[in-house]
Structure 1
Amino acid sequence: MADLDLMLLDRRVARLLAPWDRTDLPGMTVGVVRDGELVVHRQAGMASLELGVKLGPDSAFRIASVSKQFTCAAILMLAAEGRLGVADDVHAHLPELPDFGARITIAHLMHNTSGLRDMLEIMRLGGVDLSVPCSRADLLAGICRQRGLNFAPGSRYMYSNSNFLLLGLIVERLTGETLPDFLDTRIFAPLGMLRTRMVESTTDVVPHLATGYLPRNGDGGGWMRAAHGFPLGGEGGLVSSVEDLALWVRNMSTGRVGGAALVQALETQAPFTNGRSNNYARGLQVRSYRGVRAVDHGGLWPGYKTEFLRVPETGFAVICISNNGASDPYHLAHAVLDAAIEARPGVHPVRALPPAEALAGLPGRYLDPASGATLDMTLNGGTPMGCANGVPFQLRPTADGRLAASRSAEDFTAALSADGDTLEVEADAGFTSSYRRVAPGAALPAGLEGAYESPDIGAVWTLAEKDGALTVQVAGPLMKNGPWEIEPIEGDVIRIYPPSNLYRAWLDVRVLRGADGAVTGLNVNGGRARHLVFTRMGARP
């Protein structure tokens, strides 16, 4: 690429960052790597609103789940040395895990196909959100309480932070080192990634770390420091910077650490048991973007968002990190990539959305009668949006005329029926569901009042009236919480809204009844924890 093209790309990045170029907003930083060199690096906005410090080239951020590829790299390095096998049963290294009645391998953990319920969801159902301090022992206890899985190992994909906490623990058990020390000695120091470190405690002081902010609710607007109390390990504990991640991108072509075999292993996909392809490789996602192969991963933690995006065949990578909880680094990084690869051979044009009249019938609430799962579909300025369990995702048109989640983390492709009443959805591993439109005005099911307990969560939920409304009070392993709102959907399907400081999370809940019609329990499904049964205390078997 000629110098003039680099100048143009730099100016396009500056224009994309312009909305954050203010002294009253937390900000965003962007880096573009071409053939291993950081050719564009810009920042906009504030690292500290309180101290009036702007983001700079040396600003560091929590990169959250972008950490997962480094945890997988550690496992793969140990496998290359013969100290473990990716086909090993996890119980060989973690004997304290319960017997789930199915063999779970290290590979299942790396590919997010283990079926293990997500530890953050487990904690949330027990009343503990990310803002509440807890310990790694608390997280492990939550995983080890489980007696069921989301699905049979290898059969489906579901993102689970539990997988990567356990991978980090395996590294520590095998090496006798802490995961932070292993990563620093074997990866960061050799590559000169001097601003990258695993910082498990969110209270530790880190040089040049930008403060994470969330928008303050209410009419006053403004910002607040993002509260986060969970320890962070192999699932998301790294603090890093654009310059350091650019060094990691360079390693993908030079193989200085791990050689070409490590890069290939990280990007290796494994099929599901039904033969369908899994886009989730090993701490990285692999997919087609505008006709070229893209390898990426995002990161989300209260007050921080990251997108790490590579298109190996073009030599380009884009790194976008923010300390602004209302920002969208994923789509900004792809806008930067579009500017870098536009008009290159083999790059497809961006598909246009269907006309407004074709999308007009999409908004509404939908229910899958088979599973009790619900979806909310909306239009945001003409852009179609989906929302599942409270997590919003933008939709893009596909070649076959359907709408798919733009983020590769969401396996969701849908088409609305001709009569506008049914949403046909294809999810991971090719599984399909029919969601039908839900009419408004539902009433709560009768007979819900009572106490319900789940051994897997270690919590008792009490459904009782408070201030004229039926709510949930939670007595969990670590704390009490509530009241949680209950919303009727249809018949015996309801939503329960647990605490969340990232979005308005909801649980899809089906009321269970005995032969006599009396309520016997609740079948609870979150975004990353499925098939949890809360049994009514004192109910007849």
Structure 2
Amino acid sequence: MNAAALDHLFAGQDFGAAPGCVAALLEGEEVAWQRCFGLARLDTATPLTAATRMRIASITKPMVALTLAALEDEGRLALSDPLSRHVPEHRFGADPTLGQMLAMKSGVPETYPLVWLGLGDAARLAEHSQALMALLLAQRMLNFRPGERTLYANANTVLLHLAAERATGEPLARLMQRHVFDPAGMASAVLDDGLAHRLPATAIAYAKAGEGFTPADPAAVEAAPGGVIASLIDLIAWHRWLRGNPHDWRARLAGAVRHDDGSPSGYAQGFVRQSLSGVPVIGHAGGHSGWASDYLYAPEKDVAVIILANRADANAYERAREILVTALGLPPDPGATPALLGPAPPPLWEATYASAEAIASLSVSGSCGEIAVDGRRMPRGADGLFRRTLGVEPFVIDAADTAAPPAELKRWEGNHAVTFGRVDAPSALSSLAVTGTYACASLPHPVTIKDDGKGGLRVLTGPVWPGGKGWPLVPVSGVLFRCHMPDGAPSEVHLRFELDESGAVAGVTFGFLRLLRISLDRVAPDAGEAWRAIGQAAPQLLIGDAP
């Protein structure tokens, strides 16, 4: 192991008077390399150390999985239980099992799109545990039939949290303390109960703002999907405990999971399964509001990497894989460690690709042998495909010669493929055709699309507060539009307007990365106001005053 080579991976990032990251490489049980870069808090210039508590975000999920395995061993629940056994009030059109939810194969719609659609600018004031559950349990449509495919969604773990507490009569925080934190020796780890930001020796997360940084800590966190706060020391202890195979997790939780068509999934039950430069790797990544984290374990080599960062631009997922590849002397992996291949070639072209059927579009630039999709670099692999295998949502692009923009490209996510066509002559519905009010029975507030008075469109969701500006809405092609974030950057949110037999807009279907579609009908403005009044009469979804 070449410590200087690992140090060099971090050489290009400014950690002087800035937030940073902590990282460790373990060979067997021994810490072979460990570094702490940057500050835990800018206001006090407190340095990050291995003992600093940090939000580990979705690395919480494998810990929840281990807790569920322990409860199954005690006979208090079974992963084969249907959701209705523990949450009989759900309205979904099918009844996924707890195991399908843990494996992200349930089809349950994601929570954050529902919060954005239902609460809009008020989402930051939401009592998450109440608002999320109310919105989630109001939904009827699943993204797909349980077992059909894999789609990562925090909503699965939100419902598993509820199932575990109902099965035991105990809070999840206590269950995780007993079944994971204590036996693993994670002395400072806690599951966030809403007060964890007041704990001593806890870092603050930051986002880049101009030449500096601004605090980005979330006001609230969904506990089971990403609420654990722990230190690097805690995560090292957790890994050492995992090496002993508690609850037979390697087979039960990290073993291969297949879809109903027999194809393999890259997500097991709480753990991600990937190949890094040909070496099988198990682990999980996490990210939320300035926090980024990753845990990678190559069991055949008995080598693991842990990285925790309190800045959104730390490239934690790529750094973790670079550490593992460098430590093991492996060749660069085009889909996971593109920076090790050298600088990206300058793009020869840029194009927009769209799929109205999938309610999605892609901004693509390319050159010979390499593309970038929505800003993500993707060199061509040895098999001719372009891969992005960082984090928990890997995808593959199949495209022809990229010296020029191909007429179409195919995006694969696991066993599911979508064909995108190049948009050569953008044309879209007029602003007059799409402005109006849209509503559906599973959301507490209507959605308003209005002209911004400057030739553009805005989408307003949730309660409409005085001065609310909404998000810009930009045409892609035909009936397909894409939301941009308030700062102008393209978002994942797409809208497909539905036309009646006369060609008039009768409704709109929203598409998100993890909520594939939710349809709203167009309603008269006065009906929209009545709908909004009903929503505002539900104060249990909100706390605090309007901004």
Q: TM-score, normalised by structure 1?
A: 0.88
Aligned residue among 301, 304, 319 for 1:314: 301
Give distance in 1, aligned partners of 2:205 and 2:123.
14
Deviation at 1:506, TM superposition (A): 3.5
Structure 1 counterpart of 2:233: 243
Structure 1 counterpart of 2:418: 433
2:371 aligned counterpart, secondary structure = strand
Aligned residue among 88, 101, 104 for 1:112: 104
| 1:162–1:526 Cα change, 3 Å | same
Structure 1 counterpart of 2:276: 289
Aligned residue among 127, 133, 145 for 1:140: 133
* Comparing 306-315 and 199-208, the one that deviates more: 199-208
- 8 A Cα contact 1:64 1:238, kept in partner: yes
* Comparing 459-468 and 515-524, the one that deviates more: 459-468
Structure 2 counterpart of 1:67: 60
Could you list the runs of 5+ residues in structure 2 that have no partner in the other structure?
526-547
Map of 1:23-172 to 2, 5 A cutoff? 23-98=16-91, 100-126=92-118, 127-128=120-121, 131-172=124-165
1:32 aligned counterpart, secondary structure = strand
1:254 aligned counterpart, secondary structure = coil
- 8 A Cα contact 1:13 1:42, kept in partner: no
1:305 aligned counterpart, secondary structure = strand
- 8 A Cα contact 1:117 1:149, kept in partner: yes
Give distance in 2, aligned partners of 1:268 and 1:479.
49
Deviation at 1:490, TM superposition (A): 1.0
Matched, 1:469 2:452: no
* Comparing 414-423 and 178-187, the one that deviates more: 414-423
Deviation at 1:477, TM superposition (A): 6.3
Could you list the runs of 5+ residues in structure 1 that have no partner in the other structure?
none
Give distance in 2, aligned partners of 1:189 and 1:298.
22
Equivalent residue letter for 1:431: H
- 8 A Cα contact 1:422 1:434, kept in partner: no
Equivalent residue letter for 1:428: E
1:505 aligned counterpart, secondary structure = strand
- 8 A Cα contact 2:411 2:420, kept in partner: no
2:324 aligned counterpart, secondary structure = helix
Give distance in 2, aligned partners of 1:57 and 1:161.
28
Q: TM-score, normalised by structure 2?
A: 0.87
| 1:457–1:46 Cα change, 3 Å | same
Map of 1:398-437 to 2, 5 A cutoff? 398-407=381-390, 409-418=392-401, 420-437=405-422
1:234 aligned counterpart, secondary structure = helix
| 1:399–1:164 Cα change, 3 Å | same
Equivalent residue letter for 1:312: P
| 1:404–1:105 Cα change, 3 Å | same
Give distance in 1, aligned partners of 2:407 and 2:396.
14
Deviation at 1:429, TM superposition (A): 4.1
Aligned residue among 332, 344, 364 for 1:377: 364
Structure 1 counterpart of 2:310: 323
| 1:416–1:121 Cα change, 3 Å | same
- How far does the alpha carbon of each residue in 1:259-305 deviate from its partner, in whole angstroms, 9 at most, with x for none? 4x133212023211111111101111102111111112111111110
| 1:48–1:152 Cα change, 3 Å | same
| 1:479–1:112 Cα change, 3 Å | farther
Give distance in 2, aligned partners of 1:78 and 1:32.
31
Aligned residue among 366, 372, 380 for 1:397: 380
Matched, 1:510 2:496: yes
Equivalent residue letter for 2:81: D
Aligned residue among 275, 278, 285 for 1:298: 285
Equivalent residue letter for 1:222: G
Map of 1:319-358 to 2, 5 A cutoff? 319-342=306-329, 347=330, 350=333
- How far does the alpha carbon of each residue in 1:404-432 deviate from its partner, in whole angstroms, 9 at most, with x for none? 11325234211323473334324234332
- How far does the alpha carbon of each residue in 1:485-520 deviate from its partner, in whole angstroms, 9 at most, with x for none? 11011111111235699x752311111111111110
- 8 A Cα contact 2:325 2:331, kept in partner: no
Deviation at 1:349, TM superposition (A): 5.6
| 1:138–1:226 Cα change, 3 Å | same
1:17 aligned counterpart, secondary structure = coil
| 1:393–1:21 Cα change, 3 Å | closer
- How far does the alpha carbon of each residue in 1:173-227 deviate from its partner, in whole angstroms, 9 at most, with x for none? 12222111111122212221112111131663122111100011xxx53110004
| 1:202–1:120 Cα change, 3 Å | farther
Equivalent residue letter for 1:405: R
Aligned residue among 149, 168, 173 for 1:175: 168
Give distance in 1, aligned partners of 2:408 and 2:58.
31
Aligned residue among 218, 222, 230 for 2:220: 230
Give distance in 2, aligned partners of 1:71 and 1:357.
39
- How far does the alpha carbon of each residue in 1:423-480 deviate from its partner, in whole angstroms, 9 at most, with x for none? 4324234332221111365454351121111222322112222232343353526978
- Percent identical: 24
- 8 A Cα contact 2:472 2:486, kept in partner: no
* Comparing 395-404 and 54-63, the one that deviates more: 395-404
- 8 A Cα contact 2:122 2:462, kept in partner: no
Give distance in 1, aligned partners of 2:11 and 2:343.
29
| 1:86–1:359 Cα change, 3 Å | farther
Deviation at 1:530, TM superposition (A): 1.7
Give distance in 2, aligned partners of 1:92 and 1:199.
27
Structure 2 counterpart of 1:520: 506
Q: How many residues are treated as equivalent by the alignment?
A: 517
- 8 A Cα contact 1:377 1:385, kept in partner: yes
| 1:393–1:75 Cα change, 3 Å | farther
- 8 A Cα contact 1:507 1:526, kept in partner: yes
Matched, 1:16 2:1: no
Give distance in 1, aligned partners of 2:260 and 2:52.
43
Equivalent residue letter for 1:417: A
Equivalent residue letter for 1:385: A
* Comparing 105-114 and 393-402, the one that deviates more: 393-402
Aligned residue among 467, 474, 492 for 1:487: 474
Deviation at 1:360, TM superposition (A): 4.5
| 1:145–1:405 Cα change, 3 Å | same
- How far does the alpha carbon of each residue in 1:89-127 deviate from its partner, in whole angstroms, 9 at most, with x for none? 1010111211x2222110111011111111112112221
Equivalent residue letter for 1:415: D
| 1:21–1:365 Cα change, 3 Å | closer
1:421 aligned counterpart, secondary structure = coil
**How large is the Cα RMSD of the aligned pairs?**
2.9
- 8 A Cα contact 2:117 2:461, kept in partner: no
- How far does the alpha carbon of each residue in 1:74-96 deviate from its partner, in whole angstroms, 9 at most, with x for none? 11111122222211110101112
| 1:335–1:202 Cα change, 3 Å | farther
